């Protein structure tokens, strides 16, 4: 049990660690892989193939060939819309799993619910948490199964998308000279697709090899994404900058072969137990009855909500976090009363208790401190060098940063070739021609791996490189200048027949991003199917419906992860606080569970409330 005195002491330590890390420049501390770093953005995985520009018409054009484009394409094909085009700057499908082929990449959510369309494609994941190549292969499987390679444009960046008032179509141009039209467009470019580099002075002067984790150079390191050892590193001194979810996965792999590995840490991640295991085909055959994946996905949402689920089918690190908070919050409440509250909350679509009351917040804090004490104790038990162990202990609330799960990360620091260089929250001081400087000491290396993450806060146009020009010449970046405004996270007034497939103002479910996509895909297929059957030319939300939806989103209580006493990170606007613009990026006040229930009822009603269809 944690005593009250301990709690105050722990919170004081958290506050001191946070203060070290707050930077007035917030998100502006990072730099892009462009200009002098443009070469680092090149695609190392697929050769560029010359092709003729296209100048045709398709029914539906989708920007982004990651899971969003694939699942929407699949559902549209099922709804009878055959003329579908994916466009992506990558050389193939897969989105984040196309780019992130770093060694050790795996999903952090159980594959049974993370891989979409398992039932439709008849695929069984090989493990509870599968490797990146298996996820990429599944994306390719979806593309083949639904014939989504047909008409797809890869290694192609959209330059402009403009609504043509007279023809009532979108005109799309690209950097490869394509100039075509589409009746419908959707953008599904993902929340984290623009790699960023830390703004460390001298970074451009380094004379050795360097690359970002999303552009892994296996020619240099040897090995492959399937886990073959990186045998070309046996005589190399390697530095990794970044210890987030990516660093946690690739560092143990680098430690296996590098002559010397230096891990430069600004903030330690919280690293909990992974407990991976193969999926038993016999067991799978038993559970994979019709409708199984939807049941599993729904069960996950239920377990992540504030209610009292009857069972936990998924049983992963995420549902464990949720269960712990729930049990603490329920305390001595009789089970019958807890179930009654859950039922009433569902009936009224209310905010999950976990977000709404002060006593639940207090329970959250207690359970969180207990959990973080366990995580710190695990570091101490696994990492042999006490000095290293001390620096690997995260001192913040677990949901301030993306929780990590690994059984390989902490033991990697016991290898003689692996050194943690903790920067006490300051980051790497300087990069020189030959290495990295921390605390005045130069660490000479042959290679720097940037596990420094992806842009999160940048505005739409900056992030995607294009803008939508809607009715009357209005740009989407202008429409969203004061923050996101949508109906259901999906539709924008003034942008007919356009969909934004993203999770804000919707379920906002970070623990299983594909679920947001699967649900939006069902909505899009229903709407477009209806429009095509009835011969409508345009679909658009009213501004009144959009405003009402945005006002609803603004009632969402700030969740635990946005807490102002959190250590900074991209989950909390780098500690810069929560203005209305940022609050508009939240999800439904009823949480993911509330949103999915709302939108399922909206789809069932079939009257498309808030949307105008015109001939």
**Closer residue to ligand NDP (CB): 448 or 487:** 448
297 near ligand NDP, rule: CB under 6 A: no
- Candidates 451, 518, 553, 566: give the one binding ligand NDP (CB under 6 A): 451
Rg for the chain (alpha carbons), in Å?
24
Locate 105 and state its tokens.
Answer: 């990449």
Nearer residue to ligand NDP within complex by CB, 31 or 59: 31
Residue 108 found at the interface with ligand NDP (CB under 6 A): yes
Residues 13-32 that bind ligand NDP (CB under 6 A): 21
Closest CA to 40 of 258, 152, 244, 198: 198
Tokens representing residue 493 in the block? 């007034």
Q: How far apart are CA 491 and CA 507, in angstroms?
A: 15
115 binds ligand NDP (CB under 6 A): no
Q: How far apart are CA 58 and CA 170, in angstroms?
A: 10
| 127/424 Cα distance (integer angstroms) | 37
Q: Which tokens in the block code for residue 383?
A: 């990492």
Q: According to CB under 6 A, which one of 94, 125, 435, 453 is a site residue for ligand NDP?
A: 453
Which residues, listed in sequence order, are joined to residue 278 by a DSSP beta bridge? 127
Number of other residues whose CB lies within 10 A of the CB of residue 280: 10
**Structure token pair of residue 61:** 């054009």
Q: What is the 3-state secondary structure (H, E, C) of 195-216?
A: EEEECCCCHHHCCCEEEEHHHC
**For residue 112, what are the contacts with CB-CB under 8 A and spacing of at least 6?**
118, 125, 128, 279, 293, 296, 314
Q: What's the rounded Cα separation, in Å, for the pair 72 and 76?
A: 6
The nearer residue to ligand NDP, 174 or 516, going by C-beta atoms, is 516
Interaction mask 226-265, ligand NDP, x per CB under 6 A: ---------------xxxxxxx-x--------------x-
Smallest gap from Cβ 190 to ligand NDP, in A, equals 10
As measured in angstroms, the least distance from the Cβ of 480 to ligand NDP is 22
Helices (H), 85-194: 96-99, 111-114, 118-121, 132-145
Using the contact rule CB under 6 A, the part of the chain among 182-190, 192-200, 215-223, 533-541 near ligand NDP is 192-200
Which of 85, 101, 106, 395 is close enough to bind ligand NDP by CB under 6 A?
Answer: 106
Task: Count Cα atoms within 13 angstroms, Cβ side, for 538.
Answer: 21
From the list 68, 210, 257, 267, which residue makes contact with ligand NDP (rule: CB under 6 A)?
267
Nearer to ligand NDP, 26 or 222 (CB): 26
Alpha helices in 349-439 (DSSP H): 353-356, 358-382, 386-391, 409-412
Q: Which of 105-113, 215-223, 383-391, 480-488 is the region at the interface with ligand NDP (rule: CB under 6 A)? A: 105-113
Task: Pick out residues in 411-430 that bind ligand NDP (CB under 6 A).
Answer: 423, 427-428
345 or 401: CB nearest ligand NDP: 401
The verdict on 575 binding ligand NDP (CB under 6 A) reads: no
Query: Which residues between 323 and 352 bind ligand NDP (CB under 6 A)?
Result: none
- What are the two backbone dihedrals, phi and then psi, of residue 286, each rounded to the nearest 5 degrees? -70, -35
| Closer residue to ligand NDP (CB): 111 or 545 | 111
Binding mask 135-174 for ligand NDP (x = CB under 6 A): ----------------------------------------
CB 500 within 8 A of CB 486: yes
Q: Which residues contact 596 (CB under 8 A, 6 or more apart)?
A: 298, 301, 507, 519
Q: Which span sits near ligand NDP by CB under 6 A: 62-70, 103-111, 119-127, 288-296?
A: 103-111
Of 61-69, 87-95, 104-112, 223-231, the segment contacting ligand NDP by CB under 6 A is 104-112
Site residues (vs ligand NDP, CB under 6 A):
21, 106-108, 192, 198, 200, 241-247, 249, 264, 266-267, 402, 423, 427-428, 451-454, 569-570
């Amino acid at each position: 049990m944690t005593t009250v005195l301990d709690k105050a002491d722990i919170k004081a330590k958290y506050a001191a660690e946070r203060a070290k890390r707050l930077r007035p420049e917030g998100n502006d501390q990072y730099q892009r892989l462009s200009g002098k770093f443009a070469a680092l953005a090149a695609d190392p995985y697929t050769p560029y193939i010359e092709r003729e520009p296209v100048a045709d018409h398709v029914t539906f054009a989708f920007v982004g060939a990651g899971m969003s484009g694939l699942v929407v394409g699949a559902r549209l094909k099922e709804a009878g819309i055959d003329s579908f085009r994916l466009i992506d700057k990558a050389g193939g499908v897969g989105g984040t799993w196309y780019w992130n082929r770093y060694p050790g990449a795996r999903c952090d959510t159980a594959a049974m619910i993370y891989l979409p369309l398992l039932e439709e494609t008849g695929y069984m994941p090989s493990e509870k948490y599968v490797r990146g190549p298996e996820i990429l292969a599944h994306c390719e499987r979806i593309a083949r199964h639904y014939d989504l390679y047909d008409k797809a444009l890869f290694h192609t960046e959209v330059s402009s998308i403009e609504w043509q008032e007279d023809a009532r179509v979108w005109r799309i141009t690209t950097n490869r000279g394509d100039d075509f039209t589409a009746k419908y467009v959707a953008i599904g470019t993902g929340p984290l697709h623009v790699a960023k580099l830390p703004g460390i002075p001298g970074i451009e002067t380094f004379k050795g090899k360097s690359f970002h984790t999303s552009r892994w150079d296996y020619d240099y390191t040897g090995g492959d994404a399937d886990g073959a050892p990186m045998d070309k590193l046996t005589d190399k001194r390697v530095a990794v900058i970044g210890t987030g979810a990516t660093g946690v996965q690739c560092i143990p792999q680098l430690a296996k072969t590098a002559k010397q590995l230096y891990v430069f840490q600004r903030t330690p991640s919280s690293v909990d137990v992974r407990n991976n295991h193969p999926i038993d085909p016999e067991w799978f055959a038993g559970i994979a009855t019709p409708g199984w994946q939807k049941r599993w996905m729904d069960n996950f949402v239920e377990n992540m909500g504030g209610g009292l689920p009857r069972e936990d089918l998924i049983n992963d690190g995420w549902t464990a976090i949720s269960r712990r908070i729930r049990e603490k919050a329920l305390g001595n409440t009789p089970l019958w009363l807890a179930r009654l509250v859950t039922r009433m909350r569902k009936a009224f679509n209310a905010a999950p208790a976990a977000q709404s009351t002060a006593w639940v917040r207090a329970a959250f804090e207690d359970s969180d401190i207990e959990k973080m004490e366990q995580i710190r104790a695990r570091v101490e038990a696994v990492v042999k060098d006490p000095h290293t162990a001390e620096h690997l202990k995260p001192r913040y609330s677990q949901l301030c940063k993306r929780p990590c799960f690994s059984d390989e990360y902490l033991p990697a620091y016991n290898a003689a070739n692996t050194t943690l260089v903790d920067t006490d929250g300051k980051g790497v001081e300087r990069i020189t021609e030959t290495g990295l400087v921390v605390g005045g000491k130069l660490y000479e290396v042959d290679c720097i791996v940037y596990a420094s993450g992806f842009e999160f806060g940048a505005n739409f146009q900056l992030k995607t490189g294009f803008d939508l020009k809607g009715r009357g010449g209005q740009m989407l970046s202008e429409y969203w200048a004061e923050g996101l405004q949508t109906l259901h996270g999906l539709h924008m007034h003034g942008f007919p027949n356009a969909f934004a497939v993203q999770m804000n103002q919707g379920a906002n479910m970070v623990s299983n991003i594909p679920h947001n996509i699967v649900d939006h895909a069902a909505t899009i297929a229903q709407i477009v199917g209806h429009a095509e059957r009835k011969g409508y030319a345009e679909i658009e939300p009213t501004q009144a419906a959009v405003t009402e939806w945005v006002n609803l989103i603004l009632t969402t209580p700030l969740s635990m992860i946005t807490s102002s006493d959190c250590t900074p990170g991209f989950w909390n606007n780098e500690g810069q606080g929560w203005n209305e613009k940022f609050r508009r990026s939240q999800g439904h006040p009823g949480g993911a569970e509330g949103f999915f229930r709302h939108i399922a009822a909206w789809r069932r009603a079939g009257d498309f409330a808030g949307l105008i269809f015109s001939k």
